[in-house]
Amino acid sequence: MKRKRFFCLIALAIITISGCSKSESPLGENTQIENNNGNNSSQSTATYVDLGLPSGTKWKSENEQHDNKISRELFTYYDAVAAYGDKLPTEEQFNELISMCRWTKYDDFYKIVGPNGNFITINKTNYAPCEGGYTADGNSYFWSSTPNGSTVYYLFVKFRTNQKVIRYNSKCNYFAVRLVQK
């Protein structure tokens, strides 16, 4: 009897001490996070995620990609509109995402949890200015479909200060694209 209790205590101690392994993601099983060798883990195709937002907007689980001279993940506003049109989020949809969801920052991404518990992630996208070059400033920039005169609104996520704001900038910059579905 004592021997059986001893082995049960050992097994409990091993389970308690082990906790999360380094390979486990803080996001759970179905995540889209790039690991160090560049391969995607778990989820292989992007889907639209219902975050339970009042507007009914669903957000795509990953950024769009295409071939260009700057980065596979960055688009000019003109390229984004030509390719995706009304699938680009509006300024209001970005504001809803900021105000209605819980944002948790990790080293290289945010986990954004909606009112219903479903989530998406956004990674650091950086950007490229109109003049050329590539700016790896460790932040994220996402185009909206909402114009502001000769400029357009975009979502700016500053990782260092946990700032999430809507700004506007020139349409010739290269920013990331995250699609929505109504």
Is the predicted pLDDT of residue 105 greater than 90, yes or no?
yes
Is the predicted pLDDT of residue 26 greater than 80, yes or no?
no
Question: For residue 73, what pLDDT band results from cuts at 50, 70 and 90?
Answer: confident
pLDDT (0 to 100) of residue 155: 94
Contact call for residues 110 and 163 (beta carbons, < 8 A): no
Is the predicted pLDDT of residue 143 greater than 50, yes or no?
yes
Structure tokens belonging to residue 122 = 């956004």
Strands 48-50 and 180-181, by their bridges, are unpaired
What average pLDDT score do residues 60-89 get?
90
Most confident of 40-44, 132-136, 155-159: 155-159
The C-alpha angle 41, 44, 48, rounded to 5 degrees, equals 120
pLDDT (0 to 100) of residue 11: 39
β-bridge mates for residue 181, sequence order: 58
**Tens of pLDDT along 144-164?**
999 999 999 999 999 888 899
pLDDT (0 to 100) of residue 6: 40
Question: For residue 107, what pLDDT band results from cuts at 50, 70 and 90?
Answer: confident
pLDDT (0 to 100) of residue 19: 35
Contact call for residues 83 and 179 (beta carbons, < 8 A): no
Average pLDDT, the chain: 80
The model's pTM is 0.74
Question: For residue 39, what pLDDT band results from cuts at 50, 70 and 90?
Answer: very low
